[in-house]
């Protein structure tokens, strides 16, 4: 995932069975410019996971203020049982289907490590256990310090990432990333209900037409995923 937020709450990094839930995922971005002006954005999604480890994410895409575009919904179903990812377009009632590729030593273990700057200082702090967003979670704070002069900076730069992981769900319920170069990003999983979602949420609805298209990117990139128990 790297040090950034990467795949947000990492709902498909591994297949977790027997721990169903539904919740709302909220991502908030805030950046304060040098003149005091602020840039703020927010994204929301409804997320579901069943006992078989299947995941559904319903994302609402809201256009910027002043845009003539309409808000739209995108739905992605990650199905490690059927070994496919489905991307649904409710507006057009169409879907695309992609296989989940099996992880191999060629695609994982033998992949060269990304380059790193040896001058960057990384420290990790255990934050203990707290109730976060209504559930028990363990916290970890990772701080990366870029010394002065490393990238042309006259003073040290500190990048801080705090992750709170639910002990019951085995996924983060809160991630906060603070980077003075780009601002603050906070991802929260709220309104968590630990019951089995309706099975129909993890299937393509009747009446949808299949179409071809480019493979999914980001958290659902088929080339990067493999079901692991």
In the chain, the number of structural domains is 1
Q: Alpha-carbon distance 28 to 44, whole Å?
A: 9
pLDDT tens for each residue of 32-74: 887 888 888 888 899 999 999 999 999 887 766 667 777 788 9
Lowest mean pLDDT of 65-74, 101-110, 130-139, name the range: 101-110
Tell me whether residue 14 is in a domain.
no
Compute the 3-state secondary structure of the chain and give helix, strand, coil in percent, each to the nearest 5.
5, 45, 50
Q: Is the pLDDT of residue 118 over 90?
A: no
Q: Read off the CATH number of the domain in which 170 is found.
A: 2.50.20
* Mean pLDDT for all residues in the chain: 82
Its domain, for residue 60, covers: 21-224
Q: What count of residues does the chain have?
A: 229
What is each CA distance from 65 to 33, 47, 177, 209, 210, in whole angstroms?
19, 26, 25, 32, 33
Q: Is the pLDDT of residue 3 over 70?
A: no
Tell me whether residue 11 is in a domain.
no
Tell me whether residue 16 is in a domain.
no
Task: Say what the pTM is.
Answer: 0.78
């Amino acid at each position: 995932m790297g040090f950034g937020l990467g795949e947000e709450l990492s709902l498909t990094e591994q297949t977790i069975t027997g721990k169903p839930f539904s919740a709302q995922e909220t991502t908030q971005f805030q950046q304060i410019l040098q003149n005091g002006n602020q840039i703020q954005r927010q994204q929301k999604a409804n997320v579901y996971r069943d006992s078989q480890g299947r995941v559904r994410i319903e994302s609402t895409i809201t256009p910027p203020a002043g845009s003539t575009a309409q808000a739209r919904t995108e739905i992605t179903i990650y199905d490690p049982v059927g070994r496919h990812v489905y991307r649904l377009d409710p507006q057009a009632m169409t879907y695309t289907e992609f296989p989940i590729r099996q992880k191999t030593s060629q695609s994982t273990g033998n992949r060269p490590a990304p380059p790193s700057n040896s001058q960057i200082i990384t420290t990790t702090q255990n934050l203990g256990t707290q109730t976060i967003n209504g559930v028990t979670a363990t916290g970890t704070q990772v701080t990366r310090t870029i010394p002065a002069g490393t990238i042309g900076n006259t003073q040290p730069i500190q990048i801080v990432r705090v992750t709170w992981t639910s002990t019951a769900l085995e996924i983060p319920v809160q991630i906060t990333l603070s980077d003075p170069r780009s601002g603050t990003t906070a991802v929260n999983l709220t309104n968590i209900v630990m019951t089995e979602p309706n099975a129909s949420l993890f299937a393509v609805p009747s009446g949808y037409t299949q179409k071809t298209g480019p493979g999914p990117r980001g958290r659902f990139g088929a080339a990067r995923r493999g079901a692991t128990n």
